[in-house]
Chain A
Amino acid sequence: GQNIDQPTEMTATEGAIVQINCTYQTSGFNGLFWYQQHAGEAPTFLSYNVLDGLEEKGRFSSFLSRSKGYSYLLLKELQMKDSASYLCAVRAESGGYQKVTFGTGTKLQVIP
């Protein structure tokens, strides 16, 4: 099975930088996704990592260390609209198929 851990809640100030961590334990790892989900809405794709290192996309960056089973999502220049839940999702081989399992999500509150 898989075990994915994220902090439950975080609070950060508008204009600041916040780092949301995700640790995972799985076999057959084949990539890690970050999704953003506003309350009552569907998850939207933010980033994907499969190799070690940093992927940058505008104000959002995501880092992966496969050997440590660790990823983080970095949000810069925080805006009020960034208040949302951030879901870490791990893809792994399971029973001959590729399966994506979501972490419980980190609820980020951005305050003025």
Chain B
Amino acid sequence: DTEVTQTPKHLVMGMTNKKSLKCEQHMGHRAMYWYKQKAKKPPELMFVYSYEKLSINESVPSRFSPECPNSSLLNLHLHALQPEDSALYLCASSQDPSGTGVEETQYFGPGTRLLVL
């Protein structure tokens, strides 16, 4: 089973709204990731959690706030977003954050398509 689930599938929000994206995996993976992908562009790394601790923040604006409540769950809290934040937000997980072999393959969820009005 290599399933990563994400909710919601689609989200429309105004610039003053607060919303959260959720991601879940039950593969026992210890690294979880948030990526942002604009149309016709590759995924861009936002955050990495390793053993439930934030290990990488790619200089993401504070209006994006990640949270890892436990090893299976990853949230992305959104507040005061801008229209340019509209994108596909992908969650991924991998087995071993410090590994350098194939076990470090990242498995992606289906994504949340976000539209900020």
Contacts and interface: CB of A to CB of B under 8 A. Distances in A.
A45 B110 contact: no
Interface in A13-66: 30-31, 33, 40-45, 48, 50
B111 A97 contact: no
B48 interface: yes
Interface of A: 30-31, 33, 40-45, 48, 50, 87, 91, 95, 97-105
Nearest to A107: B40
Contacts of B107: 45
Contacts of B110: 41-42
B97 A31 contact: no
B104 A91 contact: yes
B17 interface: no
Contact of B90 (A42, A95, A100): A42
B42 A45 contact: no
A55 B22 CA distance: 35
